[in-house]
Structure 1
Amino acid sequence: MNRRLSFSASVAALVTSFWLATAYSGLPPIESVEDAVKFESSLFIPTGKFWDRPTGVPGAPGQLIRSEPAENYRIPHGASATRLLYWSNDLYERPTVASAVLIKPAGTAPKGGFPLVVWAHGTMGVGQMCGASNSVDVGYNVMPLLTQGFAVLAVDYAGLATEGGHGYMNKIVNATDVINAVPAAQKAVTGVTRRWVAIGHSQGGQAVWGVAEQQASLRDPHYLAAVALAPAVGGAALIESNANQPGALFYPVYIARAIKQQFPNFDIDTILTPEAAARYDDLVNKGCYFYAQAAFAQVKPGSVLKKDWTSQPYVSDFFAINQVGNKSSSGPLLVAIGKTDAATPPAVIESQAEKACAAGNSLVLRSYPGDHVEMLQTSLADVTAWIKDRFAGKVVTGACTY
């Protein structure tokens, strides 16, 4: 059967912000990788010299490399955007280069600056071309946060926009990039608070959960809290579910890429079927989220992973390193669930939240109407109010609340 990818649904899944989904809904569906390439060429700014790794001795994590005002983003009139490049670390504490964009709302900043939220996006792709800072819409969900009066620091994660390869779904690396973006941004731009809150969705939800865990030892006095929206924290069970779900069949290939990035000796052919492995290079090098959906439009659910994939070398190591909920974290953590979310099922997230509660962490778990994408809209008012309470110094009562 020829499975047509609904253009409006696909855009909603990535771009998310309600007005953008509506704006794109009148366009024809993406039916081929050629259509996807054409559409993504309108979404992404080609990477250029700004994102190049500097020569010489690497700087300390969080050190600003360079910044520049950016005018090629679709942001509200009067808002300002600053693109920045900074030093970060990989899993083995080797220097990496990461990038981000800081957007300030229009108007005069309040006393002390606009409250700073650090946005960690969900899956946009795994190739260098798929960063938020080289996306004309700065990825997705940035504008709704901006309209709430926040300055939004949208993080790419190293290897998106920059060279070196993206550590997809690597909790420690992605969280490190989020944390190191903050001092770099505050060096580059004035008019934002030193205090900050991390907020992320899906892959980014896992990342900011990792931020909360790292802060247990880092203890940044300016870090206030984290918000994990529909976090992708299900490990192997989540990927198994994706492998049998139309529209999500490319995620196992992305995970194969993630394991390979973390463990170079890993062989993708040990877990991917020949049909899925044949698309591996294209998914990494030729496109982003929409390309991946189009590339797997004709693939049968259940035909991308080998039956014994979880027993292969490095697989269990990858998921063990990237598990959440089994460590102490710092500050309050709001975990938000979409009640009808099939991509990150509520039961999976609840299980991880229970582990975090058992470890004595301060966690608030709330459910909202909608699926993986819709919950971003239905949770927005409540989530932003919760964040503003943290900036106001209000205390979250109870070690773990549901």
Structure 2
Amino acid sequence: MPGFSRALCAAVAAVVAASGIAFAVPDATAKSGTQPGSLVSAAPLADGLRLPGADDAERVTYWSVGSDGAPALASGAYFLPEGAPPPGGWPVIAWAHGTSGLADHCAPSLVGPALPERDNPYLTAWLAHGYAVVASDYVGLGTPGPHPYLDVEVEAHSIVDMVRASRAAAPAISNRWAVVGQSQGGGAAIATARYATEFGRPDLDYRGAVGTGVPAYLENVLLPLGPGVPPAALPAGLTSYVFYILAGLRGAHPELDIDSYLTPLGRTLVDDAENQCTDQAHRTAEGVVLGDVFSRPLGAIPHAHDVLADYMGLAENGYDRPLFIGQGLTDIDVPAPGALGLAAAMTANGQPVTLRVYNADHSATFTASQQDAIPFVDGLFQGV
């Protein structure tokens, strides 16, 4: 696909120049074409974004797969522990970040995590335990094109391909890896667990997954939304997540004509969400009544449940490696019933899932769970 690669890279360069975001996208045909995981560029991470305790850190751009199945650019950063790597290289934690926004300038590899005071100590602890941290921004976040927020297969491709690209940039990184994520990233980690072996063949050795604050069965929450439903304002964070989902779905599936389900107010708010990081999106959503956003029910989408489940649904079976789900009982960002229901369904289906619950909210569960997640992951790397 050399013609496609040159054309896409030219378009990328034009968008990057117009946006003012400083990252280089050289001609990918000089590397390995557009195969998933092919490294496009690598450069030292911007000042202030390096994790404490990281011996080396770079921002990488690489090829992955978009919602339409075509090659798509993604970016991210990797961090190596201090000291000499063990035989075979540093084992890998593929970090799946939580919601940071949809605009390119919200990408963690460009600006850091949305909650650095929470996420940086968490990631530094993994470095201190001898793991390289490999962190995808996900397709379309920090690179041209829409970010298909919560698209499970795109997130899985982004994460698997980030491991490949990081290994190409840093030979000290092992092919043995596990995925760990929180919130949006908790869902991405569980989605990756479902596809990791398939997408990682033949060169990667996937071991297992950790997901906290996992947004499960959101398709069931979205289906009742429509004119007048709900009739009162919800917490601004929940409302802004709906705008992000609608924007992601609109970009990933233009054939659904999502705009036709929205009022003029709704279209404006979803348009705004595409250009906002989380803090600004929450402020914009303050006091907005979701029932005023819709001109007709989302359930009127043809085969609505199947469409939404295919886009963002997390599988109840098909996992071939151990996975850990941590859920806070007082979490209002990602309420407990979804993750608990998913874990129950996995257990009923004989899947290798470990569930831990915490008397804590969204962020407190994330930090508290690490004392359980680290020995769980250490066990994944025992033996060969």
- TM (normalized to structure 1)? 0.78
Map Cα deviations across residues 105-149 of structure 1 (whole Å, 9 max, x no partner).
Answer: 333434443331001112111122221111145875244222232
User: Which residue is equivalent to 2:10?
Assistant: none
Please give the residue correspondences for 1:1-400 in structure 2 after superposition, counting only pairs within 5 Å. 47-51=21-25, 54=28, 58-72=33-47, 73-76=49-52, 79-137=55-113, 140=116, 141-148=119-126, 149=128, 150-215=131-196, 217-218=198-199, 220=201, 222-239=205-222, 244-285=234-275, 287-300=276-289, 302-305=291-294, 308-313=297-302, 315-321=304-310, 322-393=312-383
Does the C-alpha gap of structure 1 residues 107 and 217 become closer, same or farther in structure 2, counting only changes over 3 Å? closer
Task: Give the direction of change, closer, same or farther, for the CA distance of 1:247–1:167 in structure 2 (3 Å limit).
Answer: closer
For 2:109, what is the secondary structure of its paired residue?
coil
Structure 1 residue 389, shift from structure 2 partner: 1.5
- Contact persistence 1:253–1:272 (CA under 8 A): no
State the match for 1:39 in structure 2.
none
CA distance in 2, matches of 1:52, 1:282: 31
Alpha-carbon spacing, 1:333–1:243, altered in 2? closer, same or farther (3 Å): farther
Offset at 1:343?
Answer: 2.0
Aligned residue for 2:332, secondary structure, equals coil
Q: Distance in 1 between matches of 2:102 and 2:205?
A: 31
Structure 1 residues 198 and 298: CA distance shift in structure 2, 3 A: same
Q: Distance in 2 between matches of 1:80 and 1:143?
A: 17
Q: Under a length normalisation based on structure 2, what TM-score does the superposition of the two structures give?
A: 0.82
Query: Which amino acid is 1:370 matched to?
Result: A
Amino acid at match of 1:207: A
Question: Once the two structures are superposed, what CA deviation does each residue of 1:274-293 show, in whole Å capped at 9, x if it has no partner?
Answer: 433222222212x2111101
220-229 or 239-248, larger mean C-alpha shift: 239-248
Displacement of 1:246: 3.6
Contact (CA 8 Å) 1:243, 1:305: kept in 2 or not? no
Q: Which amino acid aligns with 1:281?
A: D
Greater fraction of residues in helix: 2
CA distance in 1, matches of 2:198, 2:63: 20
Instruction: Read off the aligned partner of 1:157 and give its amino acid letter.
Output: Y
- Which runs of 5 or more residues in structure 1 are unaligned? 1-44, 395-402
Matches of 2:27 and 2:345, distance apart in 1? 39
Contact 2:94/2:179 (<8 A) preserved: yes
Deviation at 1:180, TM superposition (A): 0.9
Q: Where does the alignment leave 5 or more consecutive residues of structure 2 unmatched?
A: 1-18
- In the superposition, relative to structure 1, how do residues 262 and 196 fare at CA in structure 2: closer, same or farther (>3 Å)? same
Q: CA RMSD in A?
A: 2.8
Q: Percent identity?
A: 28
Distance (whole Å) between structure 2 residues aligned to residue 243 and residue 92 of structure 1: 34
1:49 Cα deviation from its structure 2 partner: 3.6
Answer with 142-151 or 299-308: which moved more. Answer: 299-308
Asked if structure 2 preserves the Cα contact closer than 8 Å seen for 1:142 and 1:152, the reply is: no
Higher deviation after alignment, 269-278 or 60-69: 269-278
Farther off after superposition, 239-248 or 186-195: 239-248
Map Cα deviations across residues 39-66 of structure 1 (whole Å, 9 max, x no partner).
xxxxxx9622425774789421111111
Structure 1 residues 318 and 142, CA, compared in 2 at 3 Å: closer, same or farther?
Answer: farther
The SS at the match of 1:205 is helix
Tell me the SS of whatever aligns to 1:193.
strand
